[in-house]
Amino acid sequence: MTFFDRLRERIRTTGGVLAVGLNPDPARLPDDCREYDYPRRAFNRRIVDATYERVAAYSVAPAYYADPKGWTALAETVAYARGRGVPVVLDAKYAEIPNPDADLLDSVDAVTVSPYLGRDALAPVLDRDLGVFVTCRTPNAGATDLQDREVTDDSETGDRMTNHNDEGEKTDDEDEKPTIAGRAAELGASWAADAAADVGLLVGGDGDTVETLRERAPNRPFFVVGGARNDPEVAAHAGPASGENEGVGLVETSREVLYAGETAGRGRRRGQDDYAAAARQSAGRLVGQLNRHR
C-alpha cells in the first residue's frame, strides 16, 4: 500500500483527519516524566497511548530534538507510534537530501520538504516510496513577508510563470495574481505526475487561505498545520473533494493535546492519569470539531 492508501485507511478507522505533533517542550513536561533517562520519550509514549485510537497520524519535528538525548527520544518516539499502527510524518521541511538525520527517512511514513531549491534537490525523496508534503505556506505571522507576496508577470521580457494543474497541464488564470504560496502549490502538485512518492502539500492559515490553495491544487492531499483549534473550517479543504485522493488529508495540532493535562487535577499534584485523560479528551474534542466541517 502507498502512503495515501495507508492514510485513507487510518482516516476511516479513526473517523477523523486529526494529526498530533509530538514535539514537547522539555520545560513543560510533568514532574514524573523528568525522572526518566529520556523524559521526552516517556512523555510522548504517554500521549500516544492516550490518543492513538483517535488520531489519523502523528508528526515529529527534528528541530525539537536537536540535542544528544533528543535524537534517541525522536527515533524511539517514531518507532513507538508506528508500533501502534499510526503513520508518522517527519516535519523537517528539508530543502535538500541527504541531511544529517536523513536516516530517519527509512523509519517514517512521510516527510515535509521545501520546494525552494527545486525538484532535483529533492529527488531522493520524490523518487522513493514515501509520502512527501511540499511546503507552500506556513501558519506563522511572518508568512506574509514572502509567501503571501503576489507574483507579477513581465510579458515584455518573457519572465512569465506558467500555471499547471495536478496533471502538469497548463491552466489559465490571467485575471488572478497568484501569491508565491500559490505558485509553490502548483509546482508541488506538478511534481506528483512523475514522482514515485505520494505528493501532497503542507499548508497553513485560516479557512479562506487554505481554500484558495485548494483551488491551486485540487487533487493533492493537504497537511494543514496551525489550524485545528484556531479555525477548524480548514478541515473542509484538507482532502480533495473528488478523485482518487478524495477525503485524504490531515489537520495537525500539538499544544492543545500535549499540554491539556496542565490544567487537569488543578489544586493537587497532577499525575500520569490526569495527563493521559486530558490528552485523550482534547484529541476527541478536536476530532469532533474538525468533523463538523468535513
Catalytic center residues: 93
User: Is 121 exposed, middle or buried (CB count within 10 Å of its CB: 0-12, 13-18, 19+)?
Assistant: middle
C-alpha cell at position 173: 488564470
- Sign of the C-alpha dihedral, residues 47, 48, 53, 55? positive
Run of H or E residues at 44: helix 39-51
Asked if 240 contacts 247 with a C-beta cutoff of 8 angstroms, the reply is yes
**b vs e for 171-207, b when ≥16 Cβ sit within 10 Å of the residue's Cβ?**
eeeeeeebbbbbbbbbbbbbbbeebebbbbbbbbbeb
CA–CA distance, 276 with 195 (Å, rounded to integer): 40
